[in-house]
Amino acid sequence: MREFFQNKVILVTGAAGSVGQELVRQILTFHPAEVRAVDNNETEIFFLGERHRGIPNLTPYLGDVRDAGKMENLCVGVDLVFHVAAFKHVGLSEYNPFDAIQTNILGVKNIIQAAQRQGVERVIFTSSDKAVNPTNVMGTTKLMGERLITAANIVNMGARQRFSSVRFGNVIGSRGSVLPIFVEQIRRGGPVTVTDPNMTRFFMTIQQAVHLVLKAAVLACGGEVFVTKMPVIRILDLARALIDLLAPVWGHDPEDIPITFTGARSGEKLYEELLTLEEMSRLLELPQMFVVLPSLRSFYGNISYSYPGQMEDSRLARPYISAQEPPMSLEAVKHFLLSQNLLEDFMAETHAAHRFPKSRRLWLVAENQAGLALAGREAP
């Protein structure tokens, strides 16, 4: 994968967000010719530049994907675009639907047209599980984004340009995820609010999500949607795991922190979907991802869809829905949180490290209070 990105000029939109920042960090390790990082958040794009100060091939830009002219200027001489910028909050998009359309749909249009005019070789669009059978404005805009990216390959007519999407579920620890909400509620001594005891979600870390986005860029043929394989966690188990691990850190007895159920929000699903029943008929399977081919294949007849490691028959016999996949056990959730350093990273990001003990203490709390079987693993 290093050879693919080496010496390329790469544009990352939404570079100041959780996924965007990690995407920039990982790309820089491949020694590209240049990384152009753009975001409309002045403060965060400034700090992104400061974190990578001294790296001459990173240039932070202040800009918005709604600005078609700016996007075209940024695409001049670019080999690859990762389009990450989006409105991601369901509630805010519902209250501000026209703003969501301008960013999540018209922003995608601007990126496609800029890339086409400037001859960008590949564009990778990051989508969401909420694009599958959407029940809200945000999910609908992400679905439309996928469709626009796929359709861009029709106009391409077999040229060297490729436009593809990557669809993944919840990125645990990212801004807006449930993890920081639960952590803060536990720090205060509770209660921890869970919408429904049966709610399940697909989860992966920011690092894992970005790795698969990068891999999809290498594999892309044009028009397909890559769907990441992800573990399932019950939200109630996530809350219980965090209480067991963190309550003692702040001097609380885990038994004293209550969990209250607030009920699912309007339009909120008890489960998430990554694949529909209809998509099963045009599905290929890779070791770490599924590949959904375009539905109107006659429009893309000049594209040959073939991938390294492709399985002859997909082992998935039903739609990819979190409620139908076996969830991680409570102990597995605890181990996942610890092994991925998710708790420490969150505390550092929220500038609360002075209230959070070092790694060794957290591992001791996990072993002594939660009874984790961590034999053979050394505390950092």
The H-assigned helical ranges of the chain are 2-5, 18-28, 42-51, 68-74, 90-95, 97-101, 107-118, 137-156, 178-187, 206-219, 235-246, 330-339, 342-349, 359-370
**How far is the C-alpha of 202 from the C-alpha of 273, rounded, in Å?**
9
Count of CB atoms situated within 10 Å of the CB of 198: 12
**How far is the C-alpha of 292 from the C-alpha of 297, rounded, in Å?**
11
Name which of 212, 217, 223 is nearest 305 in CA terms: 223
Does residue 81 sit in helix, strand or coil?
A: strand
Q: Is-catalytic flag, 142?
A: no
Residue of 130, 142, 229, 269 marked catalytic: 130
Tokens 């890559």 label which residue? 226
Q: Would you mind telling me the total number of residues written for the chain in this entry?
A: 380
Does residue 273 sit in helix, strand or coil?
A: strand
Count of CB atoms situated within 10 Å of the CB of 3: 8
| Residues that are catalytic | 130
